[in-house]
């Protein structure tokens, strides 16, 4: 956050928070994906992660847009 002080600090912090949260969806930990697989009763974790990827990309684009604006 300190290296990006030229912009809106609140928006930059929000963007960094969005990007940090995406680590829970992607392997190797994939905590959120494992929980989602258990909730829907699906045993194939890879299938759940593949279904989440478009939304992960959208969240990553939104986070980067907040940081770079």
Return mean pLDDT, the chain. 86
The pLDDT tens digits of the residues spanning 34-49 come to 888 889 888 888 888 8
Question: What's the pLDDT band for 7 if we cut at 50, 70, 90?
Answer: confident
Specify whether the CB–CB gap between 62 and 17 falls below 8 A: no
pTM of the model: 0.76
Residue written as token pair 């609140």: 10
Question: In this structure, which long-range contacts are made by residues 2-11, counting pairs with CB atoms below 8 Å and at least 24 apart in sequence?
Answer: 4/67, 7/69, 8/69, 11/66, 11/67, 11/69
Task: Give 34's contacts (C-beta < 8 A, 6+ positions apart).
Answer: 45
Burial (CB < 10 A; 0-12, 13-18, 19+), residue 60, is: middle
């Amino acid at each position: 956050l300190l290296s990006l002080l030229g912009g809106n600090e609140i928006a930059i912090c929000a963007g960094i928070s969005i990007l940090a949260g995406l680590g829970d969806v992607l392997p190797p930990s994939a905590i959120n994906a494992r929980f989602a697989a258990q909730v829907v009763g699906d045993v194939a974790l890879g299938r759940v992660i593949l279904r989440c990827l478009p939304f992960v990309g959208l969240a990553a684009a939104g986070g980067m847009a907040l940081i770079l604006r």
